[in-house]
Amino acid sequence: MKCALVTGGSRGIGRAICTKLAGMGYYVLINYKTNTEEANVSLSQVKQNGGNGELLQFDVADKEQIKQVLGNWISANEGKIIEVLVNNAGIRDDSLMVWLKDEQWDSVIKTSLNSFFYVTRLVLDGMMLNRYGRIINVVSLSGLKGQPGQTNYSAAKGGVIAATKALAQEVGRSGITVNAVAPGFIKTDMTEGLDEKELKRNIPVNRFGLPEEVAHAVGFLASKEAAYITAEVLSVNGGLYS
């Protein structure tokens, strides 16, 4: 059985990605941290899209939980191969650096950057043995451009972008591609507090994006047809920045 693992799959962009991959025929492993109700909504949508999957509850910021929950799942499911990994989980905790607290820095770095390392390293063994894999990292406009008040978030996403390019060089000969998708302003709970009317004036297409539009880009990079695309960062931002 071919599987896809999506971290942070219980809401927003993650949910849309789960639904997209289910439509592509993947058995979807939906990772989430605490909100079981929302995770079940994602699983329900996966099934409505003709697919199937299961929930995997662990905190991507906790390397021991990753080892225990994901590691145990991999060991117990030898017949299920994770062909696609989407590192989507991430949090924002914005502040100007002069007021940025240690815990704000640590939590954002652990959730976005450290999780990429610990989750990907576990999944990579199976991909290398199978000589096939698609790794897609959901980064951000902030990781490319840098945003005031987001030194921690920009550092985390920028780090994942650099790691994407490095890992792609290591695993290309094994039939594994590693790419990133960098969303701009997307209508999710992470952008609910933003002034859309004001911000969209700076976006050439004059609107915020939809989670499904990001998911479509992820689906393309996860496809077999994208085999000659690796180490790339695909911006999904309405022309705001490239």
Examine the residue annotation and report whether 153 is marked as an active-site residue of this protein.
Answer: yes
- Among the listed residues 132, 153, 228, 241, the single catalytic one is 153
How far apart, in whole angstroms, are the C-alpha atoms of residue 21 and residue 28? 7
Burial-class residue 66 by CB neighbours within 10 Å (0-12, 13-18, 19+). Answer: buried
List the one residue out of 125, 65, 85 whose CA is nearest residue 5.
85
Kindly report the number of other CB atoms within 10 A of residue 169's CB atom. Answer: 11
Tell me the C-alpha to C-alpha distance, in Å, between residue 171 and each of 133, 163, 224: 9, 12, 16
For 68-146, list the strands marked E by DSSP.
Answer: 81-87, 133-138
Q: If DSSP codes are grouped into helix, strand and coil, which group holds residue 33?
A: coil
Place of tokens 């479509």: 216
Active centre residues (catalytic): 153
